[in-house]
Amino acid sequence: RLRPLNRLQVILQHLRMSKHTDSTAEVLLEKKGCAGVITLNRPKALNAINISMIRQIYPQIKTWEQDPETCLIIIKGTGEKAFCAGGDVRAIRDAGKLGDRLAQDFFKEEYALNNAVGTCKKPYVALIDGITMGGGVGVSVHGHFRVATEKTLFAMPETAIGKYCLFPDVGGGYFLPRLSGRIGYYLALTGSRLKGRDVLKAGIATHFVDSEKLPALEKDLTGLKSPSTENIADLLNSYHEKSKADQDKPFVLDEHMEKINSLFSGDTVEEIVKKLKQDGSAFANEQLETLNKMSPTSLKLTLRQLREGASMSLQEVLRMEYRLSQACMRGTDFYEGVRAVLIDRDQAPRWKPAALEEVSDEFVDNCFKPLGNDDLKL
């Protein structure tokens, strides 16, 4: 038995540590060797990010950025399934319906976090093992290094019926149009998924490492002594070169790249749909079937978002996306998409408007208009 004084000391010590290392906490923030390590810790929710997690991660990145003892930042997820499957969509929906500030605050603070990752002065290593979608892409893709594994499942499913009606936010308007050819437009409009080494081949990941080797990689990263970005890259490269999984398999989109580049090069969604109909191939028909299930509003916002984002800075893109997020909160399709997928689960959303031609250019223009004092400040 502990003597009373010792027991009190143990309890106080536990309370001091629990904020950052308690296994029940939603996010764990730890210093390991030379590295600050962020662990998303909601495995039952596939490590989906909520606002309380954002409010812990953002200031910690800023603190580590200024700390001379911290040489790099690592972010990872717990559990076997996911790095991070997205944002806490149900909470945003509930807040939006009630007119609660969370519908503004969540997007503002999430995008500020995405910007902190994109502008981080310390090397930032994301171990994207497992499902990496939506909000999970936002806290990984803008960093220096993204390490995929054979378990990685990447998608920006915001337009897709399999998710909800929104647009590929968290800086999607920045990185997607910068992928080779029209891959980014294809991924954004269809919500199509990439697995394993294909995430590397598409240019989303920078390295590929076998999942079982990640603990050893993390140990080696945290054990580096005052490493430069080049030292970290060399270590990641050494693990990458040893990985043989799926090395000889061609990129899953290789056989379709010619069609993706021609069919998804239209200036309007209507033009893309027309090209798909005229093509008539099995691949084109499959994409047409997918787009026909989507919210017409979401498709139009997404295409313009990518076309404009292609020549913008990350900060300009995030400001634009915040305007779009608030337009979606004012509309009906976001709530209807979440209802169909997460609430009633009937997978039968009733979009308004229901057809592309009913979504006017004037409506789309309004969604992109500045919000004055309510604009996102970075």
Q: Where are the domains of the chain?
A: 25-368
Decide if 144 contacts 136 (C-beta within 8 A). Answer: no
Residue 39's DSSP bridge partners are: 28, 76
Q: Of 110, 169, 218, 321, which is the active-site residue? A: 169
Distance CA 144, CA 42 (A): 25
| Non-local CB neighbours of 17 within 8 Å, separated by 6+ positions | none
| Rounded percentage of the chain residues whose pLDDT exceeds 70 | 92
Residue 84's DSSP bridge partners are: 132
* pLDDT tens track for 131-173: 999 999 999 999 999 999 999 999 988 766 544 568 999 999 9
99 catalytically annotated:
no
Predicted TM-score (pTM) of the model is 0.91
22 pLDDT band, cuts 50/70/90, is low
Letter string b/e over residues 196-222, b meaning 16 or more CB atoms within 10 A of that residue's CB: bbbbbbbebbbbbbbbeebeebbeebb
* Whole-number pLDDT of residue 35: 98
CATH H-level superfamily of 25-368: 2-enoyl-CoA Hydratase; Chain A, domain 1 (3.90.226.10)
Q: Of 135, 136, 171, 331, which is the active-site residue? A: 135
195, containing H or E segment: strand 194-195
* Whole-number pLDDT of residue 163: 47
375 burial via Cβ count (<10 Å: 0-12, 13-18, 19+): middle
Structural tokens at position 298? 């979401």
Letter string b/e over residues 338-362, b meaning 16 or more CB atoms within 10 A of that residue's CB: bbbbeeeeeeebebeeeebeebeee
Decide if 179 contacts 172 (C-beta within 8 A). Answer: no
Residue 220 has pLDDT above 70, yes or no: yes
Q: Of 36, 77, 87, 118, which is the active-site residue? A: 87
12 pLDDT band, cuts 50/70/90, is very low
| Rounded percentage of the chain residues whose pLDDT exceeds 90 | 79
Average pLDDT over the chain, rounded to whole?
91
169 catalytically annotated:
yes
130 catalytically annotated:
no
User: Mean pLDDT across the stretch 81-96?
Assistant: 88
* Whole-number pLDDT of residue 165: 62
241 catalytically annotated:
no
54 pLDDT band, cuts 50/70/90, is very high
Residue 283 has pLDDT above 80, yes or no: yes
Q: Which residue has the tokens 């590397």?
A: 200
Residue 316 has pLDDT above 50, yes or no: yes
* Whole-number pLDDT of residue 71: 97
